[in-house]
Structure 1
């Protein structure tokens, strides 16, 4: 248990140690900035170890209140003798990784839903049952039969759409069980991918114009970290519930759908070479749709990669060189996601101020009414968008 005096002296000693080390290594720090990161990390680790030990040490039964107010034999004669707790656990370290990974999988499924994979299989089922296509006893025909028989055991399309609305904010209406839609997700996700892409664009520029290309870049680590923490914290409360079970089941459903679409008899029926060709052919022939298969599928893959990276503790890394090394994993996925999203007009490269206000929907001092629609004379709720 640390007293207030020991608590104060600890930070004074650490500050003096930092100043002394910086003075002795001033010449080396000028030529090798990474040395400064390494020294600061060691000092921060030492301070963190001391605070952890103090936080886990047993406290008095009254929490130190008797010392502070002067009651009992242990009453403090001066403020420096009272117990000084170091603080509580850090908020940003309490996010469960498995829930963020589940959101990444749900985002992957949502993009395939928007492409129309499940609608294509349902259309094939309809044509198969009507005898309108030349399928009878091949693997694709048998797969369509089993796909239809298992339908009663699965989450319905309505269940999936409600989950997308609740967790990702995409679609219209309310989320699962009338939950509040997560309308902030898309804006925070675009912000994070933009900041990751901008960071690496800054780094590439600094690599070109400076003599030592491997020095830390002038990109802002703090902005990337803050935008990533904002997104991860946004997902903290929306990833509860049946999300884990639902995404496992729908991932199995997606795999089964592609086994049907890639079956030999189905490929021969449409003159396709793979399952994606079948998807495109059915969407063109029976739905008369403009294909967005390629950008949507790449958004699914790269978006899931970015969200999976957020599930790891990399975003909390404080050493610049290590943070850059870990962030390199999603540098290209972030750029590719933004480019694909731009082609669909659902995101833009950031030209606005780097930091989003916490209350994005209500400017300071201005009351903005919710946008509503009226159908048949009845007032409906706020209008959502399917992104």
Structure 2
């Protein structure tokens, strides 16, 4: 049983050992020893503390020995497990849903519906090719059970995108877009500051911390993963799985040679563009949305798999986050070229903008 006196003694022993031994170690060895001894100390205290439920009865006098002095009571071990209370599979489903949403903005599902209608009405000169067979199968079996309304409700719940009213009592992630933009901006800014630090100091080996701090990135990432997790209950996982597979079939269908030939198209994106212009009132932002879909999905997958541990070594954080920083830069570059992203104030002012403290007032509902 570890009481308060024992806990304090262990703290003093650890501090004395570090003061005596750390000056004799190199900087790299010193960082490794600090981390190992901190983890070892926590494990030692946890393993020597009695099970929960024994100390409180003793404290109030209900234990077998009556009321005990404070010094004889076990030291309370209050575990901070909030950051671990999310369900990664739900956030992964939200990542796929984000990709699906951007495809929805590119009018992929509407284009396929137009092709099915044109095929049924005999207004496309195809009959025996793989595209004709794919349209026949879609028309006959109608594999997608989740309608456009179902998808719009899911986008509203998880991302607060669109104008579809959320079901009564459902959790709506109203701050997703602000948090997502702020996270991407903070991650991009961190690596920009790192480059500046290396240029100014002349070497990446001098002072291993850049001008920026990883605390902002970790805080935004933790808040974002928690908000996405609490808003993605219900059918989001099933919807992302089903609609994701349907979207894959749609993209393969649009790439069929007979369908591309009927629209004088070279690629499936040319088909989407031609059908959108002729039948859907204009082309969507294909280039920007395609990049936002891919980069946004990878960023959310990174957030789902990362626990954003506060004591993480800066070098380890950089190695893990560097590929995602490139995706964040790509997402910001594409977002700023969309209609909604033109008012984005830029990376340097992102936090004030995300918190509503900037010069511009953001709308309550965002379609990004």
Please indicate, yes or no, whether the TM-score normalized by the shorter chain is above 0.5: yes
1:1-387 mapped onto 2 (5 Å cutoff): 1-25=1-25, 28-29=26-27, 34-54=28-48, 57-59=50-52, 63-70=54-61, 74-75=65-66, 78-151=69-142, 154-176=145-167, 179-214=170-205, 215-313=208-306, 315-316=308-309, 318-344=312-338, 345-346=340-341, 347-352=344-349, 354=351, 360=355, 384-387=365-368
- Range with greater deviation from structure 2 (320-329 or 301-310): 320-329
- Aligned partner of 1:376 in structure 2 is none
TM-score, with structure 1 as normaliser: 0.84
Distance in 2 of aligned mates of 1:242 and 1:156: 13
Residues in 2 aligned to 1:132 and 1:221: alpha-carbon distance in whole angstroms: 57
- 8 A contact 2:84–2:307 mirrored in 1: no
Cα distance, 1:128 vs structure 2: 1.6
CA distance in 1, matches of 2:134, 2:143: 16
Alignment partners' CA distance in 1, 2:58 and 2:337? 66
Distance in 1 of aligned mates of 2:106 and 2:85 = 35
Distance in 2 separating the partners of 1:350 and 1:235: 23
Q: Distance in 2 between matches of 1:95 and 1:157?
A: 28
The offset of 1:64, in angstroms, is 1.8
In the alignment, is the contact (CA less than 8 A) between 2:171 and 2:230 conserved in 1? no
- CA separation in 2, counterparts of 1:353 and 1:272? 40
Structure 2 unaligned regions, length at least 5: none
The answer to whether the 8 A contact 1:104-1:305 is kept is: yes
**Separation of aligned partners in 1, 2:100 and 2:253:** 17
Within 2, Cα distance between the matches of 1:75 and 1:9? 26
Give yes or no for contact 1:223–1:354 (8 Å, CA) kept in 2.
Answer: no
Q: 1:175 to 1:149 in 2, by over 3 A?
A: farther
1:245 Cα offset (Å): 0.9
How far has the Cα of 1:75 moved from its partner? Answer: 4.3
Q: 1:281 to 1:73 in 2, by over 3 A?
A: closer
CA distance change for structure 1 residues 35 and 197 in 2, over 3 Å: closer, same or farther? farther
Equivalent residue of 1:110, what SS? helix
* Aligned residues: CA RMSD: 2.5
* Equivalent-residue separation in structure 1 for 2:157 and 2:100 (angstroms): 14
1:386 is displaced (CA, Å) by: 2.1
Q: Pick closer, same or farther for the CA change 1:168–1:324 going to 2, 3 Å.
A: same
Q: CA deviation at 1:122?
A: 0.8
Task: Report the TM-score when normalising by structure 2.
Answer: 0.89
